[in-house]
Structure 1
Amino acid sequence: MELIKSRIEEKHPGTKIYNVNRFESWSSLETMWHQVLEIGNDIANISAAHPEGINLLGYSQGGLIARGIVQTFSNISVSTFISLSSPQAGQYGAGFLHLVFPGLVKDTVYELFYSRVGQHTSVGNYWNDPYHQALYEQYSVFLPYLNNHINSSKSEEFKANMLRLKRLVLIGGPDDDVITPWQSSQFGYYSGNETVMELYDQPTYKDDLIGLRTLDKTKRLHLVTVPGINHFNWHMNVSVVDNYLLPYLD
């Protein structure tokens, strides 16, 4: 994220930018709730120093962690949250899987992820197999709760905290090749098979489970689709920063 940080500093001199350095490399496989709480405490300290509100940007898995922080921490004041190519509705794709588990097959990996052992990995926490939704709901301890797909004692708070945002920006694109389906970066996802249902056809939106429809109706939801960008280039491409990040940070 250093390129993004330096570019913002160049274009907005004097802006205070924090690049949170946690859970790098293999430690990124630690559970999502653990990462949300640990990084969230860092962000809470940053937010306390800037009561006027902060902008929060997360890339890839970091964008899903960042949303978990937005929804979980009521004491953090986020004005704009930008999700940069993040699996917000989950992940079901071999390209992504083979980055961390090269020997596993997407069709059968649910047998690992939908178990108590599998839920001790971050990827298992948001692996959303459209063919095994009953097991997803039974075993997954993170994503179905964060998305209010399953009600919990935190459901109202999760939605209320999302609705405190002044702006939610969801960035993704069809040439990502890692986030699968790529529409997950904008809360679109597979139906009961591998047919993609866009955000607006999803229960998450139609039933306003976490406030996406309300954010949309109040013009606070922005979907940004950028073709031609591979997953590993989003955070390394100056034109992405200039054209799709900076306009939302003014």
Structure 2
Amino acid sequence: MAAIRSCVTLLIVVLCLCNAAQLPVVLWHGMGDSCCFPFSMGKIQKRIEDYYNGTISVHSVRIGNGNIEDVANSYMKNANDQIDIACEQLVNTEAIIKSGGAFNAIGFSQGSQFLRAVVQRCSNNDTRPNAAGIKLQVNNLISIGGQHRGVFGLPRCIGANVTLCEYARRMLDYGAYLGFVQDHLAQSNYWNDPLDQETYLKKCTFLPDINNEKSIKKPSYKENLTKLNKLVLVQFMQDTMVQPRESQWFGTYKLGQDKEVVNMVDTDLYKEDWIGLKKLNEDHRIDFLECPGDHLRFTEEWFKTNIMHYLK
């Protein structure tokens, strides 16, 4: 009897320790930002660490060797190349290795759809385990202002480098689907032209793939996304940067025009469940959050109240 009681006690202790463990958090910044600016991602990282008294390890994705290169790559590096770098980076991150590959993820603006691509392409992918065999598995994916059905228009852009912002705007106007633009401008990789869907599906190198919009579907994309515990979609209700604003909730322009928007549940992407959104939604695993104000204009109090609890 004593031996049984000892085993039960040990099991309770182990379960308590497991439940008390905090998964690491991965952040991915948006266009024109960097992983580590103290006034943006660095500040958010510190707030998360302070809120959880240092029990959560936070890794902010950086594409490049420093902040300046990271900012430049947020404009000028093909999204697919960025995803490959991030997958390799995360699978070899110490805190993620210690958690067995599991983590929570928060994307900001374009970092949201990039992290979704990490979920769909890198989760349980036998080509990307590290030397210890660790594979990535995202628990909660939080998208803050992400453009999951792309954009059609760049009326203004925020960021640390105004020159690169203007360059991006000119290249999109010049020809978003030209080969050299697709190769060297990240924003062109999620440019979704409702007036020319044929060219979009044929020439856009990133968004049609991760949304499984092509005729040949990739079952692993749906399989991996539906492993999420929660998909959290934040829309900024006075957004003047993302067109259409509803892209943040998987809405998109109705084909043939750029005024009327089709909501997520009325799209073929949802109805035919190409990536698992219908499954997630029917299981009550998608949370749609509203944030008042313009793009990425949220307060610390809003973030604390609405986002922090997803990191437990």
Q: What is the TM-score with the length of structure 2 in the denominator?
A: 0.73
User: In the alignment, residue 168 of structure 1 is paired with which amino acid?
Assistant: L
Q: 2:212 aligns with which of 148, 152, 175?
A: 148
Q: 1:174/1:242 Cα in 2 relative to 1: closer, same or farther (>3 Å)?
A: same
The answer for the alignment partner of 2:175 in structure 1 is 112
Question: Is 2:276 the partner of 1:211?
Answer: yes
Write the distance in 2 (CA, Å) between the matches of 1:183 and 1:225: 11
Q: 1:33/1:105 Cα in 2 relative to 1: closer, same or farther (>3 Å)?
A: closer
Question: Is 2:52 the partner of 1:17?
Answer: no
- Unpaired runs of 5+ residues, structure 2, are 1-40, 65-69, 125-134
Cα displacement (A) at 1:220? 0.9
Q: 1:202/1:135 Cα in 2 relative to 1: closer, same or farther (>3 Å)?
A: same
Q: What is the TM-score with the length of structure 1 in the denominator?
A: 0.90
- Written as runs of structure 1 = structure 2, the 5 A alignment for 1:1-250 is 1-13=41-53, 14-23=55-64, 24-28=70-74, 29-46=76-93, 47-51=96-100, 53-73=102-122, 74=124, 75-96=135-156, 100=164, 102=166, 109=172, 112-120=175-183, 121-152=185-216, 155-192=218-255, 193-194=257-258, 195-228=260-293, 230-234=294-298, 237-250=299-312
Judge conservation of contact 2:145–2:296 (CA < 8 Å) in 1.
no
Judge conservation of contact 2:168–2:187 (CA < 8 Å) in 1.
no
Judge conservation of contact 1:63–1:85 (CA < 8 Å) in 2.
yes
Write the distance in 1 (CA, Å) between the matches of 2:154 and 2:187: 12
User: In the alignment, residue 175 of structure 2 is paired with which amino acid?
Assistant: L
Q: Find the residue that maps to 1:58 and give its secondary structure.
A: strand
Write the distance in 2 (CA, Å) between the matches of 1:60 and 1:133: 23
Write the distance in 1 (CA, Å) between the matches of 2:178 and 2:101: 43
Cα displacement (A) at 1:12? 1.0
Write the distance in 2 (CA, Å) between the matches of 1:30 and 1:104: 12
Cα displacement (A) at 1:157? 1.1
Q: How big is each residue's C-alpha offset from its partner over 1:25-72, in whole Å with a ceiling of 9 and x where there is no partner?
A: 221120000000101111222333212721011111111111111100
User: In the alignment, residue 93 of structure 1 is paired with which amino acid?
Assistant: G
- Unpaired runs of 5+ residues, structure 1, are none
Q: Find the residue that maps to 1:149 and give its secondary structure.
A: coil
Judge conservation of contact 1:82–1:170 (CA < 8 Å) in 2.
yes
User: In the alignment, residue 84 of structure 1 is paired with which amino acid?
Assistant: I
Write the distance in 1 (CA, Å) between the matches of 2:46 and 2:167: 37
Aligned sequence identity (%): 26
Write the distance in 1 (CA, Å) between the matches of 2:105 and 2:206: 21
Q: How big is each residue's C-alpha offset from its partner over 1:174-213, in whole Å with a ceiling of 9 and x where there is no partner?
A: 2121111111111111111121111111111111110001
Cα displacement (A) at 1:241? 1.5
Q: Find the residue that maps to 2:106 and give its secondary structure.
A: strand
Judge conservation of contact 2:237–2:292 (CA < 8 Å) in 1.
yes
* Corresponding residue pairs, total: 245
Judge conservation of contact 1:4–1:241 (CA < 8 Å) in 2.
no
Cα displacement (A) at 1:94? 2.9
Cα displacement (A) at 1:96? 4.4
Q: 1:148/1:52 Cα in 2 relative to 1: closer, same or farther (>3 Å)?
A: closer
Q: Find the residue that maps to 1:63 and give its secondary structure.
A: helix
Q: Find the residue that maps to 1:178 and give its secondary structure.
A: coil
Q: How big is each residue's C-alpha offset from its partner over 1:91-144, in whole Å with a ceiling of 9 and x where there is no partner?
A: 1123247965537879x9465111111211211111001111111012111100
Q: Which has the higher contact order (CA 8 A, sep 6+)?
A: 1
Judge conservation of contact 2:153–2:242 (CA < 8 Å) in 1.
yes
User: In the alignment, residue 241 of structure 1 is paired with which amino acid?
Assistant: F
Q: 1:143/1:87 Cα in 2 relative to 1: closer, same or farther (>3 Å)?
A: same
Judge conservation of contact 1:91–1:181 (CA < 8 Å) in 2.
yes
